[in-house]
Structure 1
Amino acid sequence: MSGHVGNLSDTQAALLAEFKERVKDISKPEYDDYFFTRWLRARNFDLKKSEAMLRNHIEWRAQNNVDSILQDFKPPEVVEKYYTGGLFGQDKQGALIWIEPAGFIDLRGILMSVKKQDVIKSKIWLLEHIYLLFEKKSKEQNRRVDQMVIIFDLYKFGMKHLWKPGMDVFTDILTVFEDHYPETLKKTFVINAPRIFPIAYSAIRPFLSEETQRKVAILGPSYKEILAEHIDADQLPKHWGGTYVDKDGDPRCPSKIGPGGDVPSAFFAQNCLIDLTGFTEVSIGRGSTHQLELPVSLAGSIIRWQFKTDGFDIGFGVYKRTSDKRQKAKDMDTVLELGRVNSHMVPEDGSVQCMHTGTYILRFDNTYSWTRGKKLFYTTEVLEPSGRDNGIPRCESSQSMSDQATAGEDAVFVNPSQT
């Protein structure tokens, strides 16, 4: 049995009745069996876990004024103009389709323009709007419409998209989606996945439930044929294998699907990125250095960093040890040449892909300053690649992962602040 209304086993039906009795103190007239079974399916019909999840959701809605968000909040202009994606059509069973050309998003530009919480709040606003659309479509079409199919197009997705603050926002949005809009996702198709996709997926996988992971399929070059098995041609833009085009003939239909693009500096606001929560603080004395040792055990791993200094600039470089013994910088392999950065003005961030295993050194250099010590705030992370068959779902008829070369993908080092 599917666990959906109209297709419940006797055991599931009994659990539904008991669940409704358990939560009757927080129930509302609009909460129907479809609503309650969503929370049950999200926790595999475990009554205790489902009840805890629903009660947490009700409290979350109250704390964040979600019931009135459509009236009280308007997404910032930069989010409306430059956040990628949009709703387009329905699949053959009626699920709404969301197309996300994620490779064209400039999350750094967005986060330099508005606060992180405004971006997350904009996504909550969007989900509430989608749920109203579910109700409207259900009434108009005389069938239950309450799920979505998401198409993630990763063409142009590269190293700069692994920028930690941007990934943190994405995982926060995923957490909201998983915890408060359960069973909304019917299926996710990932197309045009670049070679670094296993690393990106390994970073977000811990935030996905097992059920959500089972709904993700990685499609190969024949993805248009596979999408056609699930979606009629008139319900997809021509660019993704359908027949629909914008009024001006554009096959990507940017009038409905946000195309993204670089955010103009006119939108930038001061101090939007300066949130030092979770950063490590150290003091570097005058004429001194501070080195971080990061062991890399899997070739292809990515080291990410973000740092800020208080008041003055700092030298920064990345090296790889050539010996197990302690070495000076001149005796190590240079991965990123040492240079002075104005991290006191704008937080510095970047990443490097480690093509070889070993110990990598992040070196903060203050040897040029004989009069001033520096206060440094930093955070680092090593992202290891997942194997192609290690937890990454694939469509049965898909081919191997695309080997396309995307912008920034073949570069060993990408500093988003310079792109």
Structure 2
Amino acid sequence: MSGRVGDLSPKQAEVLQQFRERVQDILPQLPAQDDHFLLRWLRARNFNIQKSEAMLRKHVEFRKHMKVDTIITDWRPPEVKLSYLSGGMCGYDREGSPVWYDVIGPVDPKGLFLSATKQDFIKSKIRDCEMLQKECSLQSQRLGRNVESITMIYDVEGLGLKHLWKPAIETYGEILQMFEDNYPEGLKRLFVIKAPKLFPVAYNLVKHFLSEITRDKIFVLGDNWQEVLLKYIDEEELPAIYGGKLTDPDGDPRCRTMINHVGPVPSSYYVRDHVTVEYEQCLTVGRGSSQQLEYEILFPGCVLRWQFASDGADIGFGVFLKGKMGEWQKASQMQEVLRSERYNAHLVPEDGSLTCERPGVCDLMKIYIHNLEENSKKQKLQYIVMSNCSASESQHISNLHPIIMIVSNQEISISFQP
């Protein structure tokens, strides 16, 4: 049995009912609550109800953390991402599923990463995923049957060493993992076309992020790729450049109004060369060691803002809540406020903030920073932490202690400005 609606074994149907009962408390927080949606999570974990429940609950936290429910309406990618990040949805396959194209060769990975943060890159991909899921839902309504997955076409002509740049590969791996964890069964099939000899090398660098189920949906096509595409996509829905008849209104065979064909990112977009921040203090931490810095927050509504830049490699950064001053605790022993993630602050300075919402309690906010490169040399991390509490409130926090920061192998410049 396929594990889909209308094709369930008695055991699968029983597991589905039990699964629905176990996740009843989070159903209102999900983008859909029907059997089609819940079965995607069960199939992704081979109908193991415990693993499926854990996966779905993590997804709910992911949606909260990344503000996924409003990412389409409330968040706009940086201009450089809109202009120089390739791809786009164009047409539908013969079963009515949306088709997404990525044109890899002309992409300038280093230019993109020097022009916007890695978090912006990841959020852009989340936004794309949400737009595709929304289109699947609309297609389901139009066709009167369930559409829940997409067809993808990767045009890798021109794939070169520039695409194997380590920061780009690492980020692409994170995106693939995000897709696996939060959009199960969202991929119907992926066709790789015009693959050069370097493609197997690139694929081997990222395939470990993919589940066996996903890997089985990837097809590397040979010289007959146009013929194969036409078996799955009607010629009226396939761009002319790929062997179909679809063009833009002006006759452009590349369908540029739907598929972003890009090129090198102009250096005028590079962020680090145009950002000047004054950093006041310096802290050096040796390899394998750490430091903790704490801030005591007495009033709700204060906004903590940070800016930091590092040298050499990605760093992990997060904010946590602990119980009392002076007591050293691991991140796992504290309440997570801002999930620790990787930041490419050695390429683009990071700028973020959060609102301290806990009223009437002396809260200790902890920033956690960790050098993620095990074999790296000392790195320099410079940062500023600021609070915009009102004057009436600031008198109560005039004796703030530092926010906790845990750093390995980093040299740090620090300042706090209430």
TM-score, normalization: structure 2?
Answer: 0.65
Contact 1:88–1:98 (8 Å) recurs in 2: yes
**Aligned residue for 2:199?**
197
**Pair 1:94-2:63 in alignment:** no
**Pair 1:223-2:225 in alignment:** yes
Within 1, Cα distance between the matches of 2:14 and 2:274?
50
**Aligned residue for 1:85?**
87
Of 54, 65, 82, 1:52 maps to 54
**Aligned residue for 2:278?**
none
Cα displacement string for residues 335-356 of structure 1 (whole angstroms, at most 9, x for unaligned residues): xxxxxxxxxx989xxxxxxxxx
Within 2, Cα distance between the matches of 1:9 and 1:228?
34
Within 2, Cα distance between the matches of 1:346 and 1:137?
40
**Aligned residue for 1:42?**
44
Alpha-carbon distance, 1:57 to partner: 0.6
**Aligned residue for 2:173?**
171
List aligned pairs for 1:17-28, cutoff 5 A.
17-28=17-28
Alpha-carbon distance, 1:141 to partner: 2.0
Within 2, Cα distance between the matches of 1:266 and 1:134?
37
**Pair 1:76-2:96 in alignment:** no
**Aligned residue for 1:10?**
10
**Aligned residue for 1:67?**
69
Q: Any gaps of 5 or more consecutive residues in structure 2?
A: 276-285, 289-310, 314-345, 349-376, 381-418
Q: Any gaps of 5 or more consecutive residues in structure 1?
A: 274-279, 283-306, 310-344, 348-374, 379-419
Cα displacement string for residues 75-115 of structure 1 (whole angstroms, at most 9, x for unaligned residues): 11111111111101111111110011111111211111110
**Aligned residue for 2:319?**
none
Contact 2:150–2:189 (8 Å) recurs in 1: yes
Within 1, Cα distance between the matches of 2:86 and 2:239?
15
Contact 2:45–2:52 (8 Å) recurs in 1: yes
Contact 1:96–1:149 (8 Å) recurs in 2: yes
Alpha-carbon distance, 1:377 to partner: 5.4
Residue 265 and residue 40 in structure 1: after superposition, are their counterparts in 2 closer, same or farther (change >3 A)?
Answer: same
**Aligned residue for 2:216?**
214
**Aligned residue for 1:117?**
119
**Aligned residue for 1:405?**
none
List aligned pairs for 1:383-394, cutoff 5 A.
none
Contact 2:19–2:53 (8 Å) recurs in 1: yes
Contact 2:85–2:260 (8 Å) recurs in 1: yes
TM-score, normalization: structure 1?
Answer: 0.65
Alpha-carbon distance, 1:72 to partner: 2.2
**Aligned residue for 1:296?**
none
List aligned pairs for 1:18-417, cutoff 5 A.
18-28=18-28, 30-270=32-272, 308=312
Within 2, Cα distance between the matches of 1:271 and 1:209?
39
Alpha-carbon distance, 1:241 to partner: 1.3
Alpha-carbon distance, 1:308 to partner: 4.3
Query: Which SS does the other structure have where 1:243 is aligned?
Result: coil
Within 1, Cα distance between the matches of 2:182 and 2:157?
29
Cα displacement string for residues 178-235 of structure 1 (whole angstroms, at most 9, x for unaligned residues): 1011100000111111111111111111100110000011100100111111111111
Within 1, Cα distance between the matches of 2:144 and 2:86?
31
Within 1, Cα distance between the matches of 2:274 and 2:187?
31
Contact 2:109–2:162 (8 Å) recurs in 1: no
AA of the residue aligned to 2:9: S
AA of the residue aligned to 1:127: C
Cα displacement string for residues 235-257 of structure 1 (whole angstroms, at most 9, x for unaligned residues): 11011111111223221111110
Residue 272 and residue 51 in structure 1: after superposition, are their counterparts in 2 closer, same or farther (change >3 A)?
Answer: farther
Contact 1:114–1:272 (8 Å) recurs in 2: no
Alpha-carbon distance, 1:271 to partner: 6.8
Contact 1:111–1:272 (8 Å) recurs in 2: no
Question: Which portions of structure 1, spanning 4 or more consecutive aligned residues, are displaced by more than 6 angstroms?
Answer: none
Query: Which SS does the other structure have where 1:67 is aligned?
Result: helix
Query: Which SS does the other structure have where 2:46 is aligned?
Result: coil
| Identity among equivalent pairs (%) | 44
Within 2, Cα distance between the matches of 1:100 and 1:192?
12
Within 1, Cα distance between the matches of 2:4 and 2:172?
29
Query: Which SS does the other structure have where 1:114 is aligned?
Result: coil
Cα displacement string for residues 100-136 of structure 1 (whole angstroms, at most 9, x for unaligned residues): 1111111211111110101101111121122222222
With a CA cutoff of 8 Å and minimum separation of 6, indicate the structure with the bigger relative contact order. 1
Task: Give RMSD over aligned pairs.
Answer: 2.6
**Aligned residue for 2:394?**
none
Residue 194 and residue 33 in structure 1: after superposition, are their counterparts in 2 closer, same or farther (change >3 A)?
Answer: same
Alpha-carbon distance, 1:272 to partner: 10
